[in-house]
Amino acid sequence: MTVPTPTNEPLAPMPEDWRRALAVVAHPDDLEYGCSAAIAAWTDAGREVAYVLATRGEAGIDTLAPAECGPLREREQRASAAVVGVCEVEFLGHRDGVVEYGTALRRDIAAAIRRHRPELVVTINHRDTWGGTAWNTPDHVAVGRATLDAAADAGNRWIFPDLAEQGLQPWDGVRWVAVAGSPVPTHAVDATPGLERAVRSLLEHRTYITALTDEDPETYCREFLTGYARTVGARFGGRPAVSFELFGR
Ligand SMILES: [Zn+2]
């Protein structure tokens, strides 16, 4: 895959002329590590946002077996979504850590896009790294790429004809796919109004965060998110911000 060269060019504001967004990511917490301040601002403005997660994140906590971990992380994700005004959260049930890019995943995501009929689709970094040599995880790469593909699949009645037989009619209304966490972002959203809720939203993943760090969970969440927003803000007029790599359709 050819990756655009990272630049320090200013980030453009995200498009605002849309009503419904669907965020499709791999794991509980993928949206909360950076993106949810933007989601809070969108739901504040009366836009509808729903979440679809490929897995329940059941392989994410070393000390907790998957059978116990999955339901717990599902509950934490629902609570986390509610903090930023999102009440529809769906889980596709792929196995955490071994999500495979392919037609099964594209089909599941295309079905979700047809159910929700969004104009904006948000996903997680599909590129090999987070920038430099920080290697990305295979689940993010698989889900990000499958989501970029499924935005088109959702509009084509012949690619997955069984979806229409189940009553899911083609939806060709996706206008953009916005990739959160991309090392080569192009657009941004002001994080200021949503930042405090983003901190509380990440904090809802308490079991995961407590297993991850000995730091006070609230301090950890606040420092991570304000640091990230400040870094993005250097390319967005000095305002704390959330960045996206935006693909138009
Ligand atoms: Zn993840």
Which pTM was predicted? 0.96
CA 183 – ligand 1 centroid, Å: 15
pLDDT tens string 20-37: 999 999 999 999 999 999
CA 165 – ligand 1 centroid, Å: 33
CA 31 – ligand 1 centroid, Å: 8
Per-residue pLDDT of the chain (249 residues; tens, 9 = 90+): 567 777 889 999 999 999 999 999 999 999 999 999 999 999 999 999 999 999 999 999 999 999 999 999 999 999 999 999 999 999 999 999 999 999 999 999 999 999 999 999 999 999 999 999 999 999 999 999 999 999 999 999 999 999 999 999 999 999 999 999 999 999 999 999 999 999 999 999 999 999 999 999 999 999 999 999 999 999 999 999 999 999 999
Helix axes 195-203, 66-83, angle to 10 degrees: 160
State in Å, rounded, how far the first CA of the chain is from the last one: 19
CA 124 – ligand 1 centroid, Å: 8
CA 30 – ligand 1 centroid, Å: 5
For 125-144, the DSSP string reads --SSBSSTT-BPPHHHHHHH
CA 227 – ligand 1 centroid, Å: 19
CA 158 – ligand 1 centroid, Å: 31
In this predicted structure, what is the pLDDT of residue 98? Answer: 98
CA 152 – ligand 1 centroid, Å: 24
pLDDT tens string 111-166: 999 999 999 999 999 999 999 999 999 999 999 999 999 999 999 999 999 999 99
In this predicted structure, what is the pLDDT of residue 1? Answer: 58
CA 166 – ligand 1 centroid, Å: 30
In this predicted structure, what is the pLDDT of residue 2? Answer: 66
Distance from C-alpha of 96 to C-alpha of 112, rounded to nearest angstrom: 19
**C-alpha distances in angstroms, 187 versus 59, 64, 167, 227?**
32, 38, 35, 18
Residue 178 has φ and ψ, to the nearest 5°, of -105, 120
CA 233 – ligand 1 centroid, Å: 23
Residue 99 near residue 140 (C-beta atoms within 8 A): no
CA 29 – ligand 1 centroid, Å: 7
